[in-house]
Amino acid sequence: MCGICGEIRFAREGRVNSDLIKAMREQLVHRGPDDSGLFVSADGQVGLGFRRLRIVDLSASANQPLTNEDGSIQLVFNGEVYNFQALRRQLLAHGHQFRSHSDAEVIVHLYEEQGTDCLRDLEGMFAFAIWDQRTERLILARDRAGKKPLFYYRSADRLVFASEIKSFFAHPEIPTEIDPGAIPYYFLYGYVPCPDTFYRGVKQLEPATVLAFERDGTVHSEAYWQLQYPARNRVAPSPTIGSQEASGRIRSLLTEAVERRLVSDVPIGAFLSGGVDSTIVVGLMSRLMSEPVKTFSIGFEGDPAYDETRYARLVAERFGTDHTEFIVKPSAVDLVEKLIWHHDGPFGDASAVPTYIVSQLTRQHVTVVLNGDGGDEVFAGYKRFYASVVSEKIPPTVGRGLDAVLSRIPPPASDRHWVALAQRFASAMNLPFYERITRWISLFYEDLEHLIAPELFHAGFDRLRYLDAEREQMEGLSTLGKVLHANFKFYLLNDLLVKMDRCAMANSLEARSPFLDTALVDYVATLPDAMKLRAGKTKVILREAFADLLPSEVSRRGKMGFGVPLGTWFRHELRDYLADLLLSSNARYRTYLSAPYVHALVKRHQAGTTNAGLQLWSLLCFELWLQALPGWTRPNVAPVVGSR
């Protein structure tokens, strides 16, 4: 796992500044604290920077940039290729010479043979750049699900790329300006959907995409993979796919996925929440490894609704793991400035706090960790998936009546209380389908226009814009197929994978996700809906496939999720902290948001008349980002993090 960056100049009279490439590279030292590398082409038109976290082949021969036999191809790579050993054997048989035993080097030689078609043979998580001197072409590519990040900035005379946006802060030719048009989308979702970012002119490379930049500035883009769900008329149970056959296939595919992800030359462990997905991963690891699995869990002080450590301990005892856990206290919010820095801006998912802490704890023991990310997205594990299916069958009159009744009930203290979930469900039941599923995942929805300054909100804002490129493909799918597709493309990509990558890599920890193995994802997508969701039960076929591994307490329990008790914290221990930030007459958010609305929301939450913990977290992160941003963009100034 590493950090990469680089630049190509389109104007031949200009040259890449190697000192700037180094400065960009050093912004990524947390992604690769073990070594660094630099390549600048002989004509000065291309520069590549690299920071290394040693995982496979710990020797200096695996340092990057890596090149082919004649030096005409240069690679910088972030990630892991899990099938590299099989690919290496094929390439050796074809006469290629290797200087290392790293997984990254197979890409160099595979690209020599196949060009960008090599991406179809790679199984893993990755973002990489290849400079091909033969064709004078710079190639950028990203893995299928988008586990590894890659950002780029393009102007008339150059293209600059990096694993994280903070690299661009070290480049004086890149204007670091806030894009005001991104702000409403942040407060809608808690993130700015890919390919956009908070910064004007800075884009994300989309998953499963390869970009080729020519020396004259011409760019070619191609998607090399697409997750395919069956058409609406093919999702019913099929006599050709039996439950026993599907269970066996899933068990085989996931076991192989876990085994591939155990290849490492450094210590390895697992995050263990006590949920179905992480339990299965740990159970398989315990059967595949010769020593006890090192497992790591986290809980919350003072709020059992957010604490899964009891279940994690139960699983740890079941599989005899070497278990470590940590309890998060309200003071952990002191990390917020550090989290904003590592996310390159505000991030609305407060579970980044425990994710960062458990990553920090885990890194003291291992360098690689497996997790259960993707299990809910692949096997339909969220309550809102079931809600989407049910809501399509409820008559509008019934929906309006249910909403009228539930809206009269005072909101409970916890957003995990069944009343809170029912109120959220009923409030969106009668919206059109795409608006309904967007409402269920949003922070602010109907009240967004009251929060955002009018000139920003009315400047072409569209709540459903994120779906535009996907609607044609989604229209032919079942209700469950539509929400699975949307969740994989947006929530998984922009929230869960971002959180895991940034929090783990902030601590120089590599996180691997067996549930996002391509063969598994492709196969499960083809299965009938009833194998994933049936009679209110989620992950039906997954539970059947691993019934012997799942303790009954884990199998029976509902989905908890990795949340944070913000509602309680903001009413008690963090009450004054929140007020000092958001009620200040000098608050910087006032340039973009309505101060009266924010003030009223803080007061309503602290009085207990509404539960706005998640919304207030998003506002807090936004304000702290605005305060910190000027310091980030000053040359040679490192961020001050972890303090108030």
Cis amide prior to 195 (ω within 30 degrees): yes
Four-residue CA torsion sign, 196, 202, 208, 209 = positive
Annotated catalytic residue: which of 2, 5, 118, 621? 2
Residue 55 near residue 1 (C-beta atoms within 8 A): yes
Residue 181 near residue 48 (C-beta atoms within 8 A): no
Amino acid at 466: Y
Residues 271 and 298: their CA atoms lie apart, in Å, by 9
Residue 605 near residue 612 (C-beta atoms within 8 A): yes
For residue 128, the number of C-alpha atoms closer than 13 Å in the C-beta half-sphere is 32
Residue 392 DSSP label? T
CB environment 414-448: b (16+ within 10 A), e (fewer): bbbeeebebbbbbbbbbbeebebbbbbbbbbbeeb
DSSP per position, 35-76: EEEEEE-TTSSEEEEEEE---S--SGGG-SSEE-TTS-EEEE
Burial of residue 561 (number of CB atoms within 10 Å: 0-12, 13-18, 19+): middle
Residues 197 and 178: their CA atoms lie apart, in Å, by 9
Catalytic, 2? Answer yes
Q: In what order do the strands lie in the sheet with 368-370?
A: 322-328, 294-300, 268-271, 368-370, 510-512
For residue 624, give Cα distances in angstroms to 47, 588, 597, 642: 34, 9, 18, 12
Helices (H), 546-643: 552-556, 566-571, 575-582, 595-607, 613-632
Catalytic residue numbers read 2
